[in-house]
Structure 1
Amino acid sequence: MEITVVSLTILGLLVLFLGSTIWVGLSLLLVAFGSLIFFTDTPPLNVLTNILWNQTNSSTMIALPLFIFMGEVLFRSNISQNLFKGLTPWMSFLPGRLIHVNIVASTMFAAVSGSSAATTATVGKITMPELLKRNYDRSLSIGSLAGAGTLGFLIPPSMLMIVYGISANVSIGALFIAGIVPGIILAIGFSTYILIRCLINPKLAPKGETYTWSDRLKALPLLLPVTFLMLLVLGSIYAGWATATEAAAVGVFGSIFLALVTRSITKEGFLQAVIGTIKTNAMIMLIVMAASYMSVVVGYLGLPGKLTAFIGTLGLSKYELIIIMIIMYILLGCILDGFSIILMTLPLALPLIKLAGFDPLWFGIFLILMIEVAQITPPVGFNLFVLNGLTGDSVLKIAKYSLPSFIIIILLVVVITVYPGIVTWVPNL
């Protein structure tokens, strides 16, 4: 009974604060601080100071600002514009034509940015004006980008994978490798949907310029910078030459080198990249520290063990547990960002997942996919906000456009649950 009262009190306070205008990080800090004061004899400030030091004094955490900085540099250079120009001749013969550029460009940029919002903003800034100017179907163009932009979290390197790996004590390198196959499958799923829609109704993607094989070959050099950066970052990890943190530093060096060589970034642009990195990293670190504090408090109160024991007595099959998890994460995705979802739920969810016999590595990819769903779920879907700024369409309308992508991601979640080897096969080679 006491545990129920404590749980409901904490849950009620979280809903109250998160539903207000208070920052997510501050909301978590306030609820955690108050819970220690009212429900335990533990000095809350002592716990907080330990958390602040432990969460910031980590070499692995350095990868976060580095990957953010790499994405910022690419965002403010013309490397992303050249990516669009290079892909256009190769996509023009497919049903759906340039809409597929959304998918392929997002897949490639995801492999160097580590962020869903950065991927959506960078690719959308280039593709959306062109698609809309050429009278491509608005809902299919915007919806495809909203879904494809989520690949920034699934295709390595991924900032969310770094946070999950640190929190769950799972190899970040293994997580990066595990995300490749599901990421490719998801990208193929998005493109397949576009193909089917445009085969049924060719008017969704009107005919434009025609390109010869000579044009396609001439466009290949425009793809080299992003391809080079992909090989540099991911190759250094998979070859065992660098850790995730070291690869992030290599990626920053590579992005700056390419931007300078192509003369595509100004002093002002570089300064904006630095400022953008500081702002984004500060926001993420506040949430990471606050959520870690909340996790420790939940542990002090004994809630994870009690909840695990309670669900264990229900006799749920592992698939019934996953269904509950899917529903829970869809609901949380409506009100929380990905970093908060991982750090708030992991102390409760991970023991249950292990109890059901699932691999924590597999669960990391499952969790990333559910956060991808959150990116296109109103009212707090970051990709929806990005596209709202790019297109002017309302968040609810963009969410409606994104519904097919929502369904495709959920279908992939079902597939990897039934066939977990899709996730674990490559890392275990």
Structure 2
Amino acid sequence: MDALISAFVVLALLVLFLGAGLWVFASLSLVAVSSLVLLFGMDLSRIGSIAANIVYRYSSSWELSAIPMFIWMGEIIFRTDISARLFRGLSPFVAYIPGRLLHTNVLGCTLFAAVSGSSPATTATVGKITTGELFHRGYDRSLTVGSLAGAGSLGLLIPPSIVMIVYGILAEQSISRLFAAGIVPGLMIAGLYSGYLMLRAIVDPSLVPEERIRYRPLDFLKAFLDLVPLTVLMTIVLGSIYTGIATPSEAAAVGVLAATVIVILTRQFSLRLMRDTLLGALRTSTMVASILICAAVLTTAMGYLHIPANVAAGIAALDLSPWWLIFALSLFYLGLGFFLDGNSIVVMSLPIALPLALQAGFDPIWFGVYLVLMVEMAQVTPPVGFNLFVLQGITGLSIGYVARAAAPFFALMLLGVVLLAVFPQIALWLPNLLFN
């Protein structure tokens, strides 16, 4: 009963602080401190000592150094014409399939996800390129915004993924194997999105305007050349990991160097550009790190209160089958997704969920991909859906409109989770092939 009361108090405090509009990292910190003081009777000096140890442990983690470097690489791409070339390069290749340029959202996010590792960065970069162009050409706004909200979340699943790095560190799993495990599921989700866009365009042709541009063979060659910089960068980053030349953390630095060289070769390099990209990366990295550290403090507080152990014992006592356990965990993650960002969900839930999943016989690599898919859904669910806020800022549409537009793609992610559960080799085939 005491554990149930503690869990209720922690949840109530979390809803209270997040509902008050406080920053996520501040809410997590206040919940941790309040819980330890009210429920455990811990004095503030001891709480400060615990928090200091957590800050030191995370700040000295070599694996976490990959996060700011991948973000910096994304900033370099975002602030140069490499991202604009993405739309130009994809346009001719999708012009003759149902849905036409709507597929640039899905394909653009899929390619950009392979070099950014961040869902908001992927959504913002591709969204700034495609939304204005698609709106101007008369494409359906709901499909434009919804497909971008859904496809932007691929930044979490397709490697290099910041959330996967966080999971790998906390679960003590190979980040390289996790990266490999995310490729096929990411492509599967992208395929579901494109299939849905084609189906909608076939059922209702008015959603897609008649394409007036007729592309010649030379246009396809130019389009291919526009895709070369991003393709080369993606090959360098992922190739350095899977060939064993670099660890994921080292590959992030390799990616920054490669992106800088590409910028120099395309004659876009300047000191002002590097300053702006550094400042942008600093702001985003600080946000991610603060959330990660504060979520770790809250996780520690929950450990002192024995909430994870008691919740795990309670769920274990139900003696659920593996299928029912995944169903229960999915409901649990969907609930968390309404209030927390991806990194916080992973850090807070892992002490509860991972032991249960391992006990039920699930592969930890598979569970990491499943967890990232559940986190992707949090990116498109109000009130704390980062992708929704990004698109609201880009388009000026209401958050309610953006959320409704994203709803079909949320459903497609649920379908992806079902397929992943029924066919676990979707995630496990490639890492087993590469590393066994």
Query: What TM-score do the two structures reach when normalised by structure 1?
Result: 0.97
Query: What TM-score do the two structures reach when normalised by structure 2?
Result: 0.95
Residue in structure 1 matched with residue 145 of structure 2 by the alignment: 142
Separation (CA, whole Å) in 2 of partners of 1:386 and 1:36: 34
Separation (CA, whole Å) in 1 of partners of 2:34 and 2:392: 37
Separation (CA, whole Å) in 2 of partners of 1:5 and 1:178: 39
Q: Is 1:421 aligned to residue 419 of structure 2?
A: no
Residue in structure 2 matched with residue 33 of structure 1 by the alignment: 33
Aligned pairs (5 A) from 1:121-270: 121-208=124-211, 209-270=213-274
Separation (CA, whole Å) in 1 of partners of 2:202 and 2:41: 66
Separation (CA, whole Å) in 2 of partners of 1:39 and 1:389: 40
Separation (CA, whole Å) in 1 of partners of 2:169 and 2:294: 15
Letter in 2 for 1:159: I
Q: What SS class does the counterpart of residue 335 from structure 1 fall into?
A: coil
Letter in 2 for 1:309: A
Separation (CA, whole Å) in 1 of partners of 2:126 and 2:17: 34
Task: Specify which of 329, 332, 337 is matched with residue 328 of structure 1.
Answer: 332
What is the aligned length? Answer: 429
Q: Which moved more, 1:25-34 or 1:260-269?
A: 260-269
Q: What SS class does the counterpart of residue 95 from structure 1 fall into?
A: coil
Separation (CA, whole Å) in 1 of partners of 2:235 and 2:242: 10
Q: Is 1:8 aligned to residue 8 of structure 2?
A: yes
Residue in structure 1 matched with residue 21 of structure 2 by the alignment: 21
Q: Is 1:313 aligned to residue 313 of structure 2?
A: no
Q: Is 1:361 aligned to residue 365 of structure 2?
A: yes
Q: Which moved more, 1:57-66 or 1:286-295?
A: 286-295
Per-residue deviation, 1:136: 1.1
Per-residue deviation, 1:89: 0.9
Letter in 2 for 1:17: F
Letter in 2 for 1:187: A
Task: Specify which of 281, 286, 289 is matched with residue 293 of structure 2.
Answer: 289
Separation (CA, whole Å) in 2 of partners of 1:147 and 1:40: 41
Deviations along 1:140-176, whole A, 9 cap, x unmatched?
1111111111111110001111111111111111110
Q: Is 1:66 aligned to residue 73 of structure 2?
A: no
Residue in structure 2 matched with residue 94 of structure 1 by the alignment: 97
Letter in 2 for 1:253: L
Q: What SS class does the counterpart of residue 381 from structure 2 fall into?
A: coil
Task: Specify which of 106, 116, 123 is matched with residue 120 of structure 1.
Answer: 123
Per-residue deviation, 1:350: 1.2
Letter in 1 for 2:239: G
Per-residue deviation, 1:40: 3.9
Separation (CA, whole Å) in 2 of partners of 1:77 and 1:218: 18
* Runs of 5+ consecutive residues of structure 2 not aligned to the other structure: none
Residue in structure 2 matched with residue 304 of structure 1 by the alignment: 308
Question: Contact 1:76–1:265 (CA<8 Å) still a contact in 2?
Answer: no
Residue in structure 1 matched with residue 283 of structure 2 by the alignment: 279
Per-residue deviation, 1:31: 2.3
Separation (CA, whole Å) in 2 of partners of 1:393 and 1:230: 32
Letter in 1 for 2:14: L
Q: Which moved more, 1:78-87 or 1:288-297?
A: 288-297
Residue in structure 2 matched with residue 109 of structure 1 by the alignment: 112
Deviations along 1:57-81, whole A, 9 cap, x unmatched?
1111100000010011110000011
Letter in 2 for 1:302: H
Deviations along 1:75-125, whole A, 9 cap, x unmatched?
000001111111111111111111111111111110001111111111111
Residue in structure 1 matched with residue 378 of structure 2 by the alignment: 374
Question: Contact 1:97–1:205 (CA<8 Å) still a contact in 2?
Answer: yes
Per-residue deviation, 1:217: 2.1
Letter in 1 for 2:403: A
Separation (CA, whole Å) in 2 of partners of 1:218 and 1:23: 45
Separation (CA, whole Å) in 2 of partners of 1:35 and 1:124: 40
Separation (CA, whole Å) in 1 of partners of 2:6 and 2:380: 32
Question: Contact 1:79–1:264 (CA<8 Å) still a contact in 2?
Answer: no
Q: 1:193 to 1:351 in 2, by over 3 A?
A: same
Deviations along 1:222-252, whole A, 9 cap, x unmatched?
1100000000000000111110000000001
Letter in 1 for 2:155: G
Runs ≥4 residues deviating over 6 A? none
Task: Specify which of 81, 85, 93 is matched with residue 84 of structure 2.
Answer: 81
Q: What SS class does the counterpart of residue 379 from structure 1 fall into?
A: coil
Q: Is 1:48 aligned to residue 55 of structure 2?
A: no
Separation (CA, whole Å) in 2 of partners of 1:8 and 1:386: 32
Separation (CA, whole Å) in 1 of partners of 2:333 and 2:312: 17
Per-residue deviation, 1:26: 2.1
Question: Contact 1:28–1:294 (CA<8 Å) still a contact in 2?
Answer: yes
